[in-house]
Amino acid sequence: MTEEHHNLGVRTERDPDATILYLNGEIDLRTSPRLRDAFLNLIEQKPAKIILDLSEVGYIDSSGVGTIVELKRKTARHKSKVILVALQPRVRSLFEITRLDAFFDIVETLDEARKK
């Protein structure tokens, strides 16, 4: 049986400045389709700014990173911004070794993300 922390939770909040996705759990080949579905629903609404709060994501692999790359590429077509917030050190490390830290806007707090 899969333990709770291996699952992926996605909660969406809309405010005047942005649509915020609060993610929690683990993002791997098993859970990244759920993330992709959430992204596809979001993209249809063409929000001007998407903030991904990753503070509760303890594990991510290349499937998860690839899904977030896909989101950014798709939203770029209608000039939406994608901002990543509060990456845990291991999660940030994966973005760094794949050099995707330069591709994404990564900030420490939601306030910083809202101001961008």
Does 77 participate in binding other proteins (rule CB under 8 A)?
A: no
The CA distance from 67 to 33, in Å, is 8
Q: How far is the CB of 104 from other proteins (least distance, A)?
A: 10
From candidates 12, 41, 45, 93, binder to other proteins by CB under 8 A: 93
Contact 71, 82 (CB under 8 A): yes
18: left (phi over 0), alpha (psi -120 to 50) or beta: beta
Residues 15 to 74 in contact with other proteins, rule: CB under 8 A: 26, 28-30, 59, 61-63, 65-67, 69-70, 73
- Of 22, 27, 69, 71, which Cα lies nearest the Cα of 45? 71
Stretch that binds other proteins, among 11-19, 46-54, 88-96, 107-115 (CB under 8 A): 88-96
- What is d(CA 73, CA 79) in angstroms, rounded to the nearest whole number? 10
**2 part of the interface to other proteins, by CB under 8 A:** yes
Residues that bind other proteins (CB under 8 A): 2-3, 6, 26, 28-30, 59, 61-63, 65-67, 69-70, 73, 90, 93-94, 96-100, 103
